[in-house]
Chains A and B, each alone.
Chain A
Amino acid sequence: DSGVTQTPKHLITATGQRVTLRCSPRSGDLSVYWYQQSLDQGLQFLIQYYNGEERAKGNILERFSAQQFPDLHSELNLSSLELGDSALYFCASSVGQGGNEQYFGPGTRLTVT
């Protein structure tokens, strides 16, 4: 158990809908990263927050947004969902701004039908 929690575990929704994925980092970790894992793209970095501020952006679509709250939990919002958004979404946390071990949550499996 990495200490990173993600909810929900599974999500099935229809195209065009909007969902919110939630992540709680390990106690003491200030950085939260979001990654997407799909069969064709592999593991791709989406976005990083550090202590409430956006720190780095990767291959995140404009339909996706995220935020980190004062209690350090983070949410990833996916809107106008398409079939191609079906993937595993992972959250990871690390103690500093970066350059340390990242600990991954169990992931949320999103299926868009």
Chain B
Amino acid sequence: SQQGEEDPQALSIQEGENATMNCSYKTSINNLQWYRQNSGRGLVHLILIRSNEREKHSGRLRVTLDTSKKSSSLLITASRAADTASYFCATDAPNSGYALNFGKGTSLLVTP
């Protein structure tokens, strides 16, 4: 079953703009991770944020986590055409062996 739900399902922006994707989940988590997938290829790990953290940065990526609202957001600043991909949030919990529960993803298109 899907734990996370990303919003929006699809996002189209121009190069240089910021892209924000949101993720909501249903049950208590240990960690939340964001992944990128280019068309039918492997998933690339972007960032992991633990349940006791509120914000994390990595290069042009900024992730926030609000456990009270069971939600997270991924901000990509100054987007590039190479950022075009699907972005997934995934949560894990100790009672499920830390297996990742993925959302359906946000499809991001960055046009030059």
Contacts and interface: CB of A to CB of B under 8 A. Distances in A.
The number of chain B residues touching the other chain, given as a range, is: 20 to 34
A79 interface: no
B43 A90 contact: yes
Contact of A42 (B43, B99, B102): B102
A101 B92 contact: no
A101 B33 contact: yes
A56 B97 contact: yes
Nearest to B45: A101
A98 B91 CA distance: 12
Contacts of B92: 98-99
Contact of A98 (B48, B98, B103): B98
Contact of A99 (B94, B101, B104): B94
Contacts of A105: 42
A86 to B, nearest CB: 13
Contacts of B105: 42
A90 B41 CA distance: 10
A107 B42 contact: yes
B25 interface: no
Contacts of A42: 2, 102-105
A55 B99 CA distance: 10
Nearest to A99: B98
Interface in A92-108: 92, 94, 97-107
Contacts of B52: none
A8 interface: no
Interface string B72-112: 00000000000000001010101011111111110000000
Contacts of B31: 99
B28 interface: no
Contacts of B48: 100-101
Interface of A: 2, 33, 35, 42-45, 48, 55-56, 58, 88, 90, 92, 94, 97-107, 109
Interface of B: 2, 30-31, 33, 35, 40-45, 48, 88, 90, 92, 94, 96-105
